[in-house]
Amino acid sequence: MKILSFVGIKGGIGKTTLSYNYGEWLAIKGKKVLFIDLDHQSNLSQTYSVYNQEGTVGVIFTGKGQVKIHHVGDNIDLIAGDMHLDDIETSIENNTNKNMLLYMWLSDNYDPLNLGQYDYVIIDCHPDFSTATKNAIIVSHDILSPITPSEHGYNAKFNLEERIDEFKKEAIDYTTRKSYVTAQLWFVANMIKHNTRSSHDLMDALKAEREKGDNSCIATIPEKELFNRSTLDRESIAKMAEDHTIYNRQRDFFDDIDKTFAKITDKL
């Protein structure tokens, strides 16, 4: 089982859209996926028409009740987001083990909930560095963060790198001095346009980083309304591609996305 978290410091970078489409792509490829929605806006849950506020991720942090796993598609299950998660985070702020609650829940429920059946656990985080996001980072094998063509979008890359490095030093086993944070951080250049200065500047900056040996940006996804609207329309790119009429109309785009997701999977 591989645990992936989609993390971002700022909103509007396509984080939920990317996690949704990647998870759907994995499912169509025959992998069993569990989504965990740690964004209190619950956009990922709503994409699957799950609005129930019982048995949500909030239970993981409060310990009150039982988590409900929703079966939302072929090879896809979901633990729904909680619209009050930000309030729950505030209520546990003084807990000494607040950053380890998801770790402990996964450990305690691995056998009872048969979590080992999943090939991938994909965690969609709120765009911040809150307690819930820190919990996701601790349990993750890899972290994926979209960066977009804007000054603040690119700077968010360094902001996230710095925060994770600091958290890695903070979240340690005091007996062994080893960090609980072991995830590799990767970036995806998202919403890239071929004809804008900001997109060219971002790609040039990433190229310069690669020349210096920084290969943390592992994929590029072009700006495409079809992709951006997939969560709103509640139909993933992978499912759209199964419609021959739609596929033939956008063949190059669908083929590129398929190759991009395959590249990400191979890298992880």
Q: How far apart are CA 8 and CA 207, in angstroms?
A: 21
User: Percent of the chain scored above 90 by pLDDT?
Assistant: 67
pLDDT at 151: 66
Average pLDDT over residues 76-91: 95
CA 121-84-145 angle, 5° bins:
40
Does the pLDDT of residue 194 top 90, yes or no? Answer: no
Could you report the per-residue pLDDT of 111-121, keeping only the tens digit for each? 999 999 999 99
Q: How confident is the model at residue 153 (pLDDT cuts 50, 70, 90)?
A: low
Helices marked H in the chain — which ranges?
15-28, 43-47, 58-62, 85-91, 101-109, 131-139, 151-170, 197-211, 225-228, 230-233, 237-240, 244-249, 251-267
Using a cut of 0.75, tell me whether the model's pTM lies above it. Answer: yes
Q: How confident is the model at residue 9 (pLDDT cuts 50, 70, 90)?
A: confident
Average pLDDT over residues 242-263: 92
The tokens of 217 are what?
């940006």
CB 215 within 8 A of CB 267: no
76-79 sheet: strands from edge to edge: 69-73, 76-79, 33-38, 120-125, 2-6, 142-147, 184-192, 217-222
The residues facing 76 across adjacent strands are: 33, 73
User: Percent of the chain scored above 70 by pLDDT?
Assistant: 99
Q: Does the CA dihedral 203-207-208-213 come out positive or negative?
A: positive
Collapse the DSSP code of 222 into the 3-class scheme (helix H, G, I; strand E, B; otherwise coil) and give the result. Answer: strand
Q: How far apart are CA 89 and CA 73, in angstroms?
A: 30
pLDDT at 196: 84
